Structure 1
Amino acid sequence: MIKCHLSRMMGEKKLKISDVAKDIGVNRGTITRLYQETAVRVEFEVLEKLCIYFDCDIAELLEVKKLRS
């Protein structure tokens, strides 16, 4: 399972989904799905834009969580 920390990162900076989408030139729906952790795929270009925007490493944005068996 992959955990996306976009909602936390946006909350810390008090950013809205629409602002991030507009600022990085990505569809609002894409940002919404990442924010709500319902995305099933994401383009590398979007991840790159988010990392540049938040001045973070990919590991700060996404985290692999092991599923408990």
Structure 2
Amino acid sequence: MIYRTIIVQAIHGKRGVIMEMKEKKHNIKCNLRDLMWENRIASINQLSIATEISRQTLHRLDNGEAAGIQLETLEKLCNFFKCEITDLFEIEKQ
């Protein structure tokens, strides 16, 4: 996943606050949260412990912030959820 950084200025009272927003450059959606729901996994932390995948990696996948995925991570998730790669990822139509 490649992101382009966009800087936005928001006004809060008299002070200006600089916020950084990231715009996606791809249309790949990770269905991690849906699979977690179906398998009664309550949190990223719980999934991290069960799969031995770092919370940071899972968080990035869940939030669409991942630039890529290791094959080992992909295999662990598919084995854990007993699913195919196409169940985990999909290409969103624009």
Q: TM-score range by the shorter chain?
A: 0.7 to 0.9
- TM-score normalised by structure 2 residue count: 0.65
- Which of 30, 33, 48 is 1:7 aligned to? 33
Any unmatched runs of 5+ in structure 2? Answer: 1-26
Task: Identify, as 1 or 2, the structure richer in strand.
Answer: 2
How many angstroms apart in 2 are the aligned matches of 1:32 and 1:58?
Answer: 18
Task: Identify, as 1 or 2, the structure richer in helix.
Answer: 1
How far did 1:48 drift? Answer: 0.5
Q: Which runs of 4+ in 1 moved over 3 A?
A: none
Residue in 1 aligned with 2:73? 46
Any unmatched runs of 5+ in structure 1? Answer: none
Aligned CA RMSD, in angstroms, stands at 1.2
Q: What per-residue deviation string (whole Å, max 9, x for no partner) do you get for residues 12-37 of structure 1?
A: 22311111111111111001111112
Higher RCO (CA 8 Å, separation ≥ 6 residues): 1
Determine which structure has more spread, i.e. the larger CA radius of gyration.
2
Q: Is the contact between residue 7 and residue 36 of structure 1 (CA under 8 Å) also seen in structure 2?
A: no
Q: Is the contact between residue 39 and residue 81 of structure 2 (CA under 8 Å) also seen in structure 1?
A: no
- TM-score normalised by structure 1 residue count: 0.86
Q: What is the number of equivalent residue pairs in this alignment?
A: 67
